[in-house]
């Protein structure tokens, strides 16, 4: 089971999701993370299926992986279906396996702000925050959700000022930051809705 290539000590962003379908917003989040966090690469972890979402509209995994590869738009973004190969159903399990397999890498968990409102419903969500630094990238209509989230309240003392985001990957967890900037309005939900009406 091969992971994307990475040299000892490299800073790798982990960006997980259903990517159903992938879109320019995913690529935008990755570009922001690469630049602002000074990452060497971002690995997209395309999940076989989110346990918190309805799978009725879920495209086949290989179709989503291929679509991700077509839209990623940066050679530093690597698309993987590692969760399916590993057999993990939850992000906390996947992160534990990745950090065990590559303890020499500096991983950072990346997520769009639109996912943060429900983050506390993820299995063992605190394990994610306690194991890896977390970067939250602003998304349309989601700014206030970040500030009112369980993560923001529970880990208020561990928030890293945005001006120091470039050092996040080297920090010991728990540590998190909120990255602002231009926002891409596209969402997978909106694309599925449009597809259903055409």
Cis peptide before 174 (omega within 30 of 0): yes
In angstroms, rounded to a whole number, what is the distance separating the alpha carbons of residues 140 and 125?
Answer: 23
Q: What percent of the chain has pLDDT over 70?
A: 88
CATH number of 11-197: 3.40.50.620
Average pLDDT over residues 42-69: 87
At residue 51, does pLDDT exceed 80? no
| pLDDT of res. 57 | 78
Average pLDDT over residues 117-137: 95
Q: What's the pTM?
A: 0.89
Average pLDDT over residues 56-61: 87
**CB contact burial 102-125 (16+ within 10 A = b; e otherwise):** eeebbbbbbbbbbbbeebeebeeb
| pLDDT of res. 191 | 45
In angstroms, rounded to a whole number, what is the distance separating the alpha carbons of residues 32 and 111?
Answer: 11
For 25, what's the count of Cα atoms within 13 Å in the CB-facing half-sphere?
Answer: 23
Name the DSSP letter for residue 117: G
Average pLDDT over residues 40-62: 85
Residue with tokens 């925050």: 129
Q: How confident is the model at residue 53 (pLDDT cuts 50, 70, 90)?
A: low
| pLDDT of res. 188 | 45
117, 141 in Cβ contact below 8 A?
no
At residue 193, does pLDDT exceed 60? no
Q: How confident is the model at residue 186 (pLDDT cuts 50, 70, 90)?
A: low
Q: How confident is the model at residue 45 (pLDDT cuts 50, 70, 90)?
A: very high
Q: How many CB atoms lie within 10 A of CB 133?
A: 27
At residue 89, does pLDDT exceed 90? no
For 172, what's the count of Cα atoms within 13 Å in the CB-facing half-sphere?
Answer: 0
The top-scoring range by mean pLDDT among 46-50, 77-81, 183-187 is: 77-81
| Residue 119 phi, psi (nearest 5) | -60, -35
């Amino acid at each position: 089971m091969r992971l994307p290539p990475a040299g000892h000590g490299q800073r790798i962003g982990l960006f997980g999701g259903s990517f159903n379908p992938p879109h320019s917003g995913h690529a935008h989040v990755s570009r922001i993370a690469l630049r602002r966090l000074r990452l060497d690469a971002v690995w997209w972890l395309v999940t076989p299926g989110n346990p918190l979402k309805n799978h009725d509209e879920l495209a086949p995994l290989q179709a989503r992986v291929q679509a991700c590869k077509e839209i990623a738009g940066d050679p530093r973004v690597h698309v993987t279906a590692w969760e399916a190969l590993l057999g993990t159903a939850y992000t906390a399990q996947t992160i534990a396996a990745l950090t065990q397999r590559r303890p020499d890498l500096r991983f950072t968990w990346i997520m769009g702000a639109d996912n943060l409102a429900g983050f506390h419903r993820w299995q063992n969500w605190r394990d994610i925050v306690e194991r890896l630094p977390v970067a939250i990238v602003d998304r349309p209509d989601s700014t206030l959700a970040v500030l009112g989230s369980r993560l923001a309240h529970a880990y208020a003392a561990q928030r890293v000022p945005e001006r120091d985001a470039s050092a996040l990957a080297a920090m010991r967890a728990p540590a998190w930051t909120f990255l602002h900037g231009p926002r891409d309005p596209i969402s997978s939900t909106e694309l599925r809705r449009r597809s259903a009406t055409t």
